[in-house]
Amino acid sequence: MPIPPKEIPFVEIPFETSNPEPRCPCVLLLDTSGSMSGVPITELNDGLRIFKDTLSKDELAMSRIEISIITFGPVKIEQDFVVASEFIPPSLHASDATPMGSAIKLALDRLDERKKIYKENGISYYRPWVFLITDGAPTDEWQSAAQRIHEAETKKRVAFFCVGVEQADMSILSQLSPRQPLKLKGLNFGEMFVWLSSSLTSASRSKPNEDVPLQSPMGWATV
């Protein structure tokens, strides 16, 4: 009698479910100098809460996007890298000068260290983002920081965005990164963070060699 055919148990076949999600690191470089005090810092804090709320709508983004916050005025790591699901929006206070140059260098150093940790743990990752927001001009040496940004952008090590608020020195911002700086419309931090959240969400889902589809920032910014 012929042996009846066997079956491959596809219905219950187990597969790997414990691999870590690829990570998409993002550093928010936030100006907390004295000129930001009052309404701007309140609006920025509200914006950070909107950022978290918007990210929360996407389960995959919550496990892939990692957020760090570095403030300048003075330079401080306000939040080390955490996955979005564990991110608790801080309440920032404004004071002091605008040491933007050293803050940028710290952000780039921290990203290099973060990549090293990913590699050591076999975690794949997407191109990191830095999002700098300022309402002024650097009070420290910034040219060498600008040079590092340009180098990193050329080698695709980072995507560096600058956003100017109110009286920000747009001419210096345009020299910092090869990407054109954006000028925030009024204090529309809320809409800006909604945009950042959806852009990071697209980036964290992008397939090999797919350009990350970025929505126009025109709702909240002018070029």
Q: Does 91 bind other proteins (CB under 8 A)?
A: no
d(CA 52, CA 104): 23
Q: How many residues lie near other proteins (CB under 8 A)?
A: 33
Q: Which residues, at least 6 apart from 217, have a Cβ–Cβ distance to it below 8 Å? A: 182, 192, 195
- Between 14 and 113, CB nearer to other proteins: 14
- Between 27 and 48, CB nearer to other proteins: 27
- Between 81 and 193, CB nearer to other proteins: 81
d(CA 145, CA 149): 6
Beta strands 182-184 and 221-222 are antiparallel
Smallest distance from other proteins to CB 103, Å: 25
Q: Does 154 bind other proteins (CB under 8 A)?
A: no
Q: Does 1 bind other proteins (CB under 8 A)?
A: no
Smallest distance from other proteins to CB 113, Å: 15
d(CA 65, CA 74): 26
Question: Whose CA is closest to 217, among 202, 201, 194?
Answer: 194
Radius of gyration of the chain from Cα atoms?
20
Smallest distance from other proteins to CB 152, Å: 13
- Between 125 and 193, CB nearer to other proteins: 125
Among 39, 91, 126, 218, binds other proteins (CB under 8 A): 126
Among 1, 88, 120, 121, binds other proteins (CB under 8 A): 121
d(CA 214, CA 56): 19
Please list the residues that pair with 132 across neighbouring strands.
29, 162
Q: Which residues, at least 6 apart from 107, have a Cβ–Cβ distance to it below 8 Å? A: 27, 29, 68, 70, 130
Q: Which stretch binds other proteins (CB under 8 A): 4-12, 40-48, 49-57, 175-183?
A: 4-12
Q: Which stretch binds other proteins (CB under 8 A): 94-102, 138-146, 171-179, 205-213?
A: 205-213
Residues at the contact surface with other proteins, assessed by CB under 8 A? 3, 5-11, 13-20, 22, 60, 121-127, 205-212
